[in-house]
Structure 1
Amino acid sequence: MRVEPVSKDMANTIKVDLKEIKEQDKLVVLAENSTASYFIYRGKKMGLEYEILKEFAEHLGVQLEIKMVHNLDNIVDLLNNGEGDMIACNYTVTKERARSINFTNPYMRSSQVVVQRKPKDWRERNRKQAWKEDVITDPLGLIGKKVHVWKNSSYYDRLVNLQNELGDTIYIEAVEGDVLPEQLIEQVADGLIDYTVTDQNVAQINSRFYPNIDIDLNISVKQQIAFGMRKSSKVLLHEFNRWLKDFMKTSTFSYIKHKYLDISQFSSKAQHEFSSLGGGKISKYDKLFKEIAADYNWDWRLLAALVYQESKFKTGQKSWAGAYGLMQFMPGVGPSYGVYPNSSPETQIRGGMKKLYKNYGDWHMITDSIQRIKFTLATYNAGLAHIQDAQRLATKYGKNPNVWDDNVEIIALNLNNPKYYKDELVRSGYLRGSETYNYVREIFTRFNEYESAFEKTVPNS
């Protein structure tokens, strides 16, 4: 639905400032669904901008409410219509935008970079210099190329100016605001488009998810990234800027930036995962896997395959999102299964198996045992609500809602597409479906490998 724009005078008549926010005990933020701004990971609210604003809300002594905006073309009108108090979408400060809203002081400066794919054999070429000649390393290389960017973004404006500077044509494909910059990055990684432009900080975060993208080509000076507010919210703006000045000097702010921008993704799956596991064992936890899995009539090798996927059998493993331990429990979930970061391996595995069996019970209506297990694994990874969304859409699109393979998994894979996650049948919104899709497939592939290599023994055998 298109939001009707409001006039400047009308925007100034909306009197929701700091006083009203405190009276309502709620700061409402309009945010995009992205890693740089705001997202939900296994039920936990996260995102670089979200964590900054959470600290600000705590400073004010109010609750923080996030409203996800799926079409960024509407976000300024939503703000000025009074639907929210602030904008958080990795917003670049521009003169054009400043005519309609006020910007806070910047919390970051970031240049714009071209996102492109590395050559298919980049891993085989040992040195970066060996494949760099196959990607664009100079803005001149963009001449004659098709670049997809959000039409109302500073990226679009920069490309227009760049082609004027170059005196030649860059084919700029203007994308509507319901396709987010992170989705365009994913499309580059998947080979659906060849190039996009985004802020360097956004590209850096997403390079952890998509190691096959190159983000080294810089095409702008460093620009200011800030939050947006209504022109009439003068007291809120003053208070935020005063708070931000002090907050940016703290270790908390440094850690938030480090957490999202600097922590590298974990090493990819080893090619020969059995090579260090001699003596006919999958891991040093085999005895626990066998004992605990037997209590639930579960195949211990399947449990082992899941634990390897989650933590590579490392008890101290902690993800950048905060998940911990062998079973990678999120902090808000682990305690309900008796699992804490310092719990013993046995407690961690027992808690994980208990949750896994609960998820298995959620799918009692699936009669095929293999399909039921796959629904269970998908639920462990993405949460029940997202998989139920995929089920409902599967029925709508003529697929079998009780079959994961080539049916519900295909819908889950597409839950990053606005056509799917904005459907009225969907209750839990956007899902990075490729993660869940690959999660189930990789665990089952590993399970099949374990089946052929290790006996289905019982405890003490």
Structure 2
Amino acid sequence: MVARDIAIQIRRTFCKPLFISLALVFGIIIFLFNGLPKLMTPSVLERIQQDGELVVYTRNSPATYYEGPDAPTGLEYDLAKMFANELGVKLTMIIPETLGDILDGVEDGNAHFAAAGLTVTDERKKRFRFAPAYQEITEQLVYHADHPKPKDLSNLGDGLLEVVAGSSHEERLKYLKNVIKDLNWRSVSDLESEDLMQLVADEIIDYTIADSNEVALNKPFFLRLRVAFDISEPQPLAWMFTKNEDNSLYDEAVKFFEKIKENGELTRMIERAYGHVDTLNYVGTIVFRRHITQRLPAYEAMFKKYAQEYGLDWRLLVAMSYQESLLRANAKSPTGVRGLMMLTRKTSKDLGIKNRLDPESSIEGGARYLTQLHKRIPKNIREPDRTWMALASYNIGFYHVVDARIITKKRGLDPNKWIDVKTSLPLLAQRKWYKDTKYGYARGWEPVRYVENIRSYYDILRRDIRPVNPVDPDPDIYKILPRVL
């Protein structure tokens, strides 16, 4: 009996560890079959860095992405390019045919995300997740200036309202339809919001809905457009990602936006894109475009010649000349400045220019002087801020800009950013501030207006260099009308 008990105890002693060991072995085997492949599969972020390419869907519009004269531009492009640089990869931006293609393509994984000026809506959040918002807009009803201004959406009568299919505008109208029973509209998939604004401007349709940022950027080009009212509260814009278990790229985007919000880079980029859009009124834009058409041809070759010689954008020189003299070679000011580039007598003497009223001499002198000022601006100031400060120096004098930068720093702002310096320049006219500066009083509000006007003119020239008739519609728009009307 004793021997039997001992044998049983021995079996128990040895079998228990054996059972545990076998269980561990089976557990490891199951992990190897199920868990190891997941560990071995690279994350989305790792694959992007391995491939060296970030693929982003976008829309073609001034608020998002478009091909400028020299390089791609637009706020979404600038943000996506900066993000790609942070990841150490190249950026590939793709423009799908329709907004619906953007949404479906991101959901299907054909792009890593969409940076397309997309509003964050409840319906979209069911399908996608969004990075932190980078901007807020309102949705606005747009109409033609020659037509009666509607009071609200129930006041549209028989007017034709068109919006982009799949847009946040369509989503909002569907919601409002529950309240305004006779609200009707037509959704089109072949056109962008900018195209629909063109149709309103050409009186082909009566109304459309557009985001406030796109309305602002397009005002100089659709001169008869008016905003009737907002149809929404402020809405966030954000990058759109597919919903899946892999958070690697999304988390990196969240960190990216937190960083550029904290260091002020996002504010600077938005100022670059929108800081000048409200500078010109309707009449100013009309007059500018007419003068460009009538006066620029006589001097265009000269602007191009000396812009190339001094490494400048010739359109920027034209914008400067228009701000200075309205492109008049014989322009004179009571203060003594003269010519296309309104050079002072002292500056002309320093540059060796004998005749300020000679168009070629004036353009060459202005280009050379701007280049000299640009070189004097500290190199740690990034573009385009460096150019804006050089322009301000051209207007008010280099050392007054130095004073304004010192004041900016005293105010706890960034003296290397135009968005901050332009708030300090007007303080040069206040004794409280100028009494402690080295160069004293200056009409500091003038260079602010000067630079913002030039930015507005420059923006028009870059997008619409030869407007033969400012109110003529784009003939290309009619090529697609039969498909939607």
**Unpaired runs of 5+ in structure 1?**
1-13, 121-133, 275-281, 296-305, 318-325, 328-342, 351-379, 384-404, 421-461
Alignment partner of 2:88 out of 61, 64, 76 = 61
Distance 1:195 1:346, change over 3 A: same
- In the aligned structure 1, how far is the partner of 2:242 from the partner of 2:198? 32
Contact (CA 8 Å) 1:146, 1:170: kept in 2 or not? no
Indicate the residue corresponding to 1:148 in structure 2. 162
TM-score by length of 2: 0.52
Indicate the residue corresponding to 2:192 in structure 1. 180
Instruction: Give the AA of the match of 2:364.
Output: E
1:242 is displaced (CA, Å) by 1.6
Indicate the residue corresponding to 1:268 in structure 2. 285
Indicate the residue corresponding to 2:247 in structure 1. 234
- In the aligned structure 2, how far is the partner of 1:41 from the partner of 1:270? 24
Alignment partner of 1:251 out of 259, 264, 279 = 264
1:152 is displaced (CA, Å) by 1.3
Alignment partner of 1:113 out of 140, 155, 176 = 140
1:45 is displaced (CA, Å) by 0.6
Distance 1:346 1:193, change over 3 A: same
1:145-169 deviations in Å (ceiling 9; x for gaps)? 3210112122112122223223x31
- In the aligned structure 1, how far is the partner of 2:300 from the partner of 2:214? 43
TM-score by length of 1: 0.54
Contact (CA 8 Å) 1:29, 1:66: kept in 2 or not? yes
| 1:345 correspondence with 2:363 | yes
1:347 is displaced (CA, Å) by 7.6
1:224 is displaced (CA, Å) by 2.1
Q: CA RMSD in A?
A: 4.2
Contact (CA 8 Å) 1:69, 1:75: kept in 2 or not? yes
Contact (CA 8 Å) 1:155, 1:198: kept in 2 or not? yes
1:76 is displaced (CA, Å) by 2.3
Distance 1:273 1:144, change over 3 A: closer
1:370-409 deviations in Å (ceiling 9; x for gaps)? xxxxxxxxxx9889xxxxxxxxxxxxxxxxxxxxx9xxxx
Distance 1:250 1:210, change over 3 A: farther
Alignment partner of 2:116 out of 89, 92, 95 = 89
Distance 1:190 1:43, change over 3 A: farther
The alignment of Structure 1 onto Structure 2 pairs a total of residues equal to 294
Distance 1:165 1:272, change over 3 A: closer
- Matched residue SS, 1:169: coil
Indicate the residue corresponding to 1:218 in structure 2. 230
**Unpaired runs of 5+ in structure 2?**
1-40, 306-313, 326-339, 342-360, 369-460
Larger Rg: 2
Contact (CA 8 Å) 1:247, 1:253: kept in 2 or not? yes
Identify the structure with the greater helix proportion. 2
Contact (CA 8 Å) 1:200, 1:215: kept in 2 or not? no
- In the aligned structure 2, how far is the partner of 1:236 from the partner of 1:307? 39
1:111 is displaced (CA, Å) by 1.9
Instruction: Give the AA of the match of 1:99.
Output: K
Contact (CA 8 Å) 2:150, 2:228: kept in 1 or not? no
Contact (CA 8 Å) 1:115, 1:214: kept in 2 or not? yes
Alignment partner of 2:321 out of 313, 321, 326 = 313
1:411-453 deviations in Å (ceiling 9; x for gaps)? x944457759xxxxxxxxxxxxxxxxxxxxxxxxxxxxxxxxx
1:170 is displaced (CA, Å) by 1.9
Distance 1:51 1:308, change over 3 A: closer
- In the aligned structure 2, how far is the partner of 1:156 from the partner of 1:307? 38
Contact (CA 8 Å) 2:154, 2:183: kept in 1 or not? no
- In the aligned structure 2, how far is the partner of 1:36 from the partner of 1:244? 18
Query: What percent identity do the matched residue pairs reach?
Result: 24
Contact (CA 8 Å) 2:69, 2:462: kept in 1 or not? yes
- In the aligned structure 1, how far is the partner of 2:67 from the partner of 2:478? 16
Contact (CA 8 Å) 2:162, 2:187: kept in 1 or not? yes
- In the aligned structure 1, how far is the partner of 2:268 from the partner of 2:247? 29
Indicate the residue corresponding to 1:194 in structure 2. 206
Indicate the residue corresponding to 1:21 in structure 2. 48
Indicate the residue corresponding to 1:32 in structure 2. 59
